[in-house]
Amino acid sequence: GSGGTYFGPPDDPKRYTMLEELGTGATATVCRCMKSDGTQFAVKSINLGKLKLQPNYQKVSDKLHREVSILFSLRHPRIVSLFDVVEGRDQLHLVMELVEGGELFDHIVQMGAFTESVARYVFIQIADGLKYIHSQDIVYRDLKPENILVDSKGSRRGLLEIKLSDFGHSKLINDGYSTALTRVGTPQYWAPEVSDPAKAAQGYNQRVDLWSLGVVLYVMLVGAYPFDGIGESIDLQIRKANVTFPNDSRKPSQYAQDLIRALIKARPQERLSIDGCLNHPWITSCGGTLSKII
Ligand code: ADP
Ligand code: MG
């Protein structure tokens, strides 16, 4: 982070002071920042100067505008809010809600794997956020624990409150079908129709997120990827969609295994819907709603 740097015109009462770095991703650095009234935010700064030199600048710039307009349009407790956009000479700053608690990814690594009740509590929230995203005709396309932030303010008694962030790969699909494909991100979470270029050319829809949801659940419960490219290539493993579980203490309960397998289905139309997930016995046999679980 570049401590003490300002962004926004100097006469702008809204200008922000950049504080320490919170995280980095493939495309951006995210820092804590503070408004003149002392309120704090997270700012995702995208280096436009560097982007402009790229041959595919137009495409990248379109993607950026998509991320901004999608984030601005979404308002949901399980989704990181975008409050402001400041365009500097070389940087585009997205001023977002500050979520302090790190990436879900780091929590999984730290714990090795989650207990079923911790995973269930997180899973319900992800499903809830995803359901809202899909209701807005948006495909998230980058669901993975690195993009799920833990909100330490809301978390208590070991139950993690989460928010979905990083809509850099999200896409609005009006016709219910998308044909765009950029093979970026983490292949471990790709559905077969994303991973396989021939299939991707035929288009895919919101169901790619359901596959990723299944992979996220597997990762939370087992502490490893279901498809990792060890042995067979990851594309081949994904195409086969054959989920196996370790035969030791990390083996999830029968209901959890069943839910994971219902999501990680090769054929998109066979995947369990989000409502189907929320009505699955792995959720309902343990009390069902969030309020009952807490
Ligand atoms: P990229 O598009 O480069 O992947 P992300 O939007 O995923 O960028 O942000 C990169 C990292 O910055 C995240 O993985 C997370 O650690 C941190 N981060 C992102 N948004 C926030 C936020 N609102 N509050 C706190 N940390 C954040
Ligand atoms: Mg990211």
Three-state DSSP class for 36? coil
| Token pair of 136 as six digits | 């807005």
How many angstroms does the Cα of residue 186 sit away from the middle of ligand 2?
10
Residues annotated as catalytic are 142
How many angstroms does the Cα of residue 123 sit away from the middle of ligand 2?
19
ipTM rounded to 2 decimals: 0.98
In terms of Cα–Cα distance, which of 130, 163, 147, 132 is closest to 263?
130
How many CA atoms does the CB half-sphere of 230 hold within 13 Å? 4
The answer to whether 107 and 60 have CB atoms below 8 angstroms apart is: no
The answer to whether 42 and 30 have CB atoms below 8 angstroms apart is: yes
Instruction: Indicate the top mutation candidate among 16, 19, 20, 22 to test ligand 1's pocket, ranked by most ligand atoms within 8 A of CB.
Output: 22
In terms of Cα–Cα distance, which of 153, 127, 155, 115 is closest to 253?
115
Instruction: Please indicate whether residue 166, judged by its CB atom, sits closer than 6 Å to ligand 1.
Output: yes
Instruction: Please indicate whether residue 98, judged by its CB atom, sits closer than 6 Å to ligand 1.
Output: yes
Instruction: Please indicate whether residue 164, judged by its CB atom, sits closer than 6 Å to ligand 1.
Output: no
pLDDT reported for residue 13: 64
Instruction: Indicate the top mutation candidate among 140, 149, 189 to test ligand 1's pocket, ranked by most ligand atoms within 8 A of CB.
Output: 149
Give the separation between CA 46 and CA 91, rounded to whole angstroms. 5
The answer to whether 46 and 38 have CB atoms below 8 angstroms apart is: no
Give the separation between CA 70 and CA 198, rounded to whole angstroms. 28
pLDDT reported for residue 112: 96
In terms of Cα–Cα distance, which of 29, 36, 23 is closest to 99?
23
Per residue of the chain (294 residues), what is the pLDDT tens digit?
444 577 776 667 668 999 999 998 877 899 999 998 899 999 999 888 777 777 888 877 877 887 788 888 999 999 999 999 988 778 889 999 999 999 999 999 999 999 999 999 999 999 999 999 999 988 898 899 999 999 998 777 778 999 999 887 777 765 444 444 555 557 899 898 887 777 766 677 899 999 999 999 999 999 999 999 888 999 999 999 999 999 999 999 999 999 999 999 999 999 999 999 999 999 999 754 444 443
Three-state DSSP class for 11? coil
Instruction: Please indicate whether residue 80, judged by its CB atom, sits closer than 6 Å to ligand 1.
Output: yes
Give the separation between CA 171 and CA 135, rounded to whole angstroms. 13
Of the listed ligands, the closest to the CA of 80 is: 1
Residues of each annotated binding site for ATP: 44
How many angstroms does the Cα of residue 286 sit away from the middle of ligand 2?
32
Beta bridge partners of 87: 92
Which is the closest atom of ligand 1 to the Cα of 105?
A: 14
Instruction: Please indicate whether residue 138, judged by its CB atom, sits closer than 6 Å to ligand 1.
Output: no
